[in-house]
Chains A and B, each alone.
Chain A
């Protein structure tokens, strides 16, 4: 059954979470993400789920980690200031391999910034915000439909790799209303539980593909869940160089070695393009409009739309850097993902930045004017 609705991005996200099997939300309301919490506070009890408003975002993500270990798909939603408060526990979720979804509907920043305006200033924080070496999965929707679809994808990836998955949306997509088609028989991933006898079970085994089955509290397994470096049994092992490097490399590699499975991009008109626009999230709307107008005026212009900013789609960008002379990253910050594009494009293409801050979408005509200056 497909249902058509005219709803906000935030509501589409919340509906996607329910479809994906999310049954716990712990959060602290913050503009422009509040509608997600609002919707789930009504919807979750109807499907025997739980909603809790915590005293702040630190405890909010703590509650989500605990709920996930009780065997329930869990999430929170926030914006920049709350995302900052969550950083420490994101590291704990990475280290303890706790599947969960964090939605960050980005607003103007730094600090409390512009609550009701859009921004993309948290892209590098999403990658490096918690201390230590770790890899992250981040997904950015650029339509209300994608906010629904990518939330489901986020839950599936979180379960598959036992990681926190970040959905990096922004105010434009969160508050925009569009028609969406909601499927109710979506593909969802069920958490894989261990089958071993209690006494033989190694919860944090150094397995080939990096991801172990996950028991829940109450299943009977004796599990120690810790942020300290731990051995395969889960017990702290903080002075063994071998245990530390084995653990951290496994956590990093379970994402890096599965890039192909995780990364998603879309591109158009890139084959003969002199210049390729690169973007993610809501500015993709401006990019596609600019490319449409440009092509009608004979400008050889194409675009690369990044659906998963992290892990960064290195191969896709490298390929385009070889075929086009110029790449222009369009983002609503003073230049963040452009550094990644520069790192990959190296000497193969000139990398430019179209930066827009202040809270509104870049105008397609402004993008095209800058393109024309370059060509």
Chain B
């Protein structure tokens, strides 16, 4: 009997702890995870968002990344936390915003999304319908933006799809200001490519999101 009681108490404590943690985290910190494959510039897009938040919006931000040993084609992920307060734990467990640029990333990460979280996808790279049950159950806000297609057709450069996506993220989340992101892009991309990247950002920001 005593054992069961203790176990119940423990479970209760764990639940309370998790709820409090969720409240604390959702109030103070916004968590973004962007997943795709190596070569898409997933990590650069995280860097641009984090830099915009810290250096130009004067908030706190931490960006981490995870990738395999391959130069291209392996799974790639970046996580960005943005907060008005100091950030201690730098990893994202349950993102408020999940951005996916590969079907593998969609399958791997969608279950971590918070209830009523935001999911942004490139519909040409994923089959969103396979997780429709999850989306309905958890009231996920889904946005589709053909960023790879825009990059290829409008800019003529497939590799700026990540920057088009940064534009979409800026517009939807409102976590970072448009001016700060532009400054951050100029500061982060290779010299001589600023104009093309800014143009990619504008296409993403002005995209008629469905």
Contacts and interface: CB of A to CB of B under 8 A. Distances in A.
B49 to A, nearest CB: 10
B50 A177 contact: yes
Interface in B43-101: 47, 50-51, 54-55, 60-69, 88-91, 93
Interface residues of A, number: 30
Given A289-B88, A297-B20, A363-B93, A116 B61 contact: no
Contacts, number: 76
Given A116-B68, A372-B10, A373-B10, A6 B54 contact: yes
B10 A115 contact: no
Contact of A179 (B14, B61, B69, B88): B61
Nearest to A292: B88
A290 to B, nearest CB: 8
B60 A361 contact: no
Interface size class of B (residues with CB under 8 A): 20 to 34
A369 B65 CA distance: 27
A181 to B, nearest CB: 11
B13 to A, nearest CB: 6
A285 B55 CA distance: 22
Contacts of B18: 365
B16 interface: yes
Contacts of B14: 369, 372
B24 interface: yes
Nearest to B48: A6
A285 B66 contact: no
B132 interface: no
Given A293-B24, A368-B17, A369-B14, A361 B65 contact: no
Given A285-B90, A297-B17, A372-B13, A31 B55 contact: no
A31 B64 contact: no
Interface string A1-41: 00011100000000000000000000000010000000000
A266 to B, nearest CB: 13
B51 A285 contact: no
B206 interface: no
B64 A176 contact: yes
Given A115-B69, A179-B55, A372-B13, A286 B89 contact: yes
Interface string A179-201: 10000000000000000000000
Interface of A: 4-6, 31, 115-117, 172, 175-179, 285-286, 288-289, 292-293, 296-297, 360-361, 363-365, 368-369, 372-373
9 contacts: A116-B68, A177-B51, A177-B63, A178-B54, A179-B61, A285-B89, A297-B16, A361-B90, A373-B10
